[in-house]
Amino acid sequence: MTASVDRLLALGDDALVTAQRLGQWCTRSPEMEEDVALANIALDQLGAARLLLTYAGALEGAGRDEDALAYLRTDREFRNALLVELPDRDFAVMIAKLLFVSAYQRLLYERLAGGGDERLAGIAAKTVKESAYHLEHAALWTLRLGDGTDTSHRRMQAGIDEVWPYTHELFESEPDLRGDWLSTVEDVLARATLARPADGWAPTGGRDGRHTEELSYLLAEMQVLHRAHPGARW
Amino acid sequence: MVSAPRGTAASAVRVDAAAVRDVVAAVVDPELVVLTIDDLGVLRSVDVDAGGRVTVTITPTYSGCPAMDVIRADIRGALAAAGYRDVDIVTQLAPAWSTDLITESGRTKLASAGIAPPARVTGPVPVALSVRCPRCGSLDTERLSAFGSTACKALWRCRGCREPFDQVKPL
């Protein structure tokens, strides 16, 4: 069965917005190896986004390519989950988001790799192997900060608490993936001596184009060059 | 003026598929310059149709690998230099690239260049728990980061000779 355009946009926009947020850390990380790591993860996410958006454009059949979809849609047309657009006001917030989204992407891509849409399965079989490295990286930092000093523990816990409510939206279309996701995440949190937040408030709307204002600022920065110079090439 | 014999037009486009493949197979990876795209397993196939059109099928190492555009341009350049201008380059994702596709000679070339080759991901050889230092051969090494100078490399350090080194990380 062929995936829907909206479904591909959701997957592609999750990856694209994640890439853009991670790219903002370049030159601002606590150590040079981390600059390199986050830029590499951003590059993987961007690669996934390009494949997914190209497929979405082809399936839509309206002549939109990856650039048209990335640079010429407005915030209301983006289908990413709210989690990935949240601002990284602390390093620990970024790590919490990466932990949650990469654990989700790994499970989702694993499922899609065995799914009935052949082109999407090919993309997912490729990206799932990269997700495993992203998850490993986020988990290592969660352990290091959670089971570190009093300050790092407090800030890692604050990061986890801040973004936890936004993880519910990831499982709206695949509620059955949440069990495996919880096992992965709870194991990391326990080893990091961090508390798993209680479920409660569950903000949503990203898949329907209702976003936080943070996405508008992110898109303004990401799209400004293309909008100022339409069709410009290197 | 001698008129061309009959059949020249047809024979002019008859090309040696093996020779064309040799041209493409010699293209060097821009980020791992000791390897050709054939050593790396990025080159899937080279086909030449009856009209002389060359179709090259390649696969990316990582989905965001920025070297792919350069590889495409280098394949076109190498074929053009050898006289083949009617070229189509197809990117194929499935089956996904794996470091297991790096040839034995490719692994040897990596090690000689000071880059540790990846452990086997699948197959009869068990995954190594440590990575041998490509400089001094010590197994007393530690990984500093899973992410290195390019998408396909991890950063390691040897406790024996104290030198840092790159590893093509298993994928």
> Measured between alpha carbons, how far apart are the two ends of chain B, in Å?
61
Q: What pLDDT does B11 receive?
A: 46
Question: Minimal Cα distance from A123: which residue of B?
Answer: B93
Task: Phi first, then psi: give them for residue A81, nearest 5 degrees.
Answer: -70, 150
Confidence of residue A1 (pLDDT cuts 50, 70, 90): confident
Between helix B17-25 and helix B67-81 the angle, nearest 10°, is: 140
Residues in B closer than 8 angstroms to A34, CB to CB, are 145
Residue A57 CB-density burial (10 A; 0-12 exposed, 13-18 middle, 19+ buried): buried
DSSP A136-192: HHHHHHHHHHHTS-HHHHHHHHHHHHHHGGGGGGGGSS-GGGHHHHHHHHHHHHHHT
Residue A17's nearest CA partner among A68, A64, A69, A81 is A81
Q: How far lies A160's CA from each of A137, A186, B137, B159, in Å? A: 16, 11, 42, 35
Predicted confidence (pLDDT) per residue in B118-150, tens digit = 988 876 555 556 899 999 999 999 999 999 888
Residues in B closer than 8 angstroms to A20, CB to CB, are none
In this prediction, residues A170-190 reach a mean pLDDT of 97
Residue pairs spanning A and B at CB distance below 8 A: 69
Average pLDDT, chain A: 96
Specify the higher pLDDT residue, B13 or B71.
B71
Q: For the CA atoms of chain A, what is the radius of gyration? A: 17
pTM: 0.92
Strands B141-145 and B153-158: what pairing? antiparallel
Q: Is B77 left (phi over 0), alpha (psi -120 to 50) or beta?
A: alpha
Predicted confidence (pLDDT) per residue in B10-48, tens digit = 445 567 889 999 999 999 999 999 999 999 999 999 999
Residues in A closer than 8 angstroms to B169, CB to CB, are 133
Confidence of residue B5 (pLDDT cuts 50, 70, 90): very low
* Residue in B64, B98, B169 nearest the CB of A47: B64
Specify the higher pLDDT residue, B63 or A180.
A180
Nearest chain A Cα distance for residue B13, angstroms:
34
Residues in A closer than 8 angstroms to B64, CB to CB, are 43-48, 50
Strands B164-168 and B43-48: what pairing? unpaired
* Residue in A43, A48, A137 nearest the CB of B151: A43
- Helix, strand and coil percent figures for chain B, each rounded to 5: 25, 20, 55
Dihedral angle sign, alpha carbons of residues A162, A164, A170, A173: negative
Nearest chain A Cα distance for residue B52, angstroms:
29
Residue A134's nearest CA partner among A84, A99, A178 is A99
Residues in B closer than 8 angstroms to A50, CB to CB, are 63-64
Q: Which two tokens stand for residue A233?
A: 């090439």
Nearest chain B Cα distance for residue A132, angstroms:
10
- Alpha-carbon gap, residue B91 to A121, rounded angstroms: 15
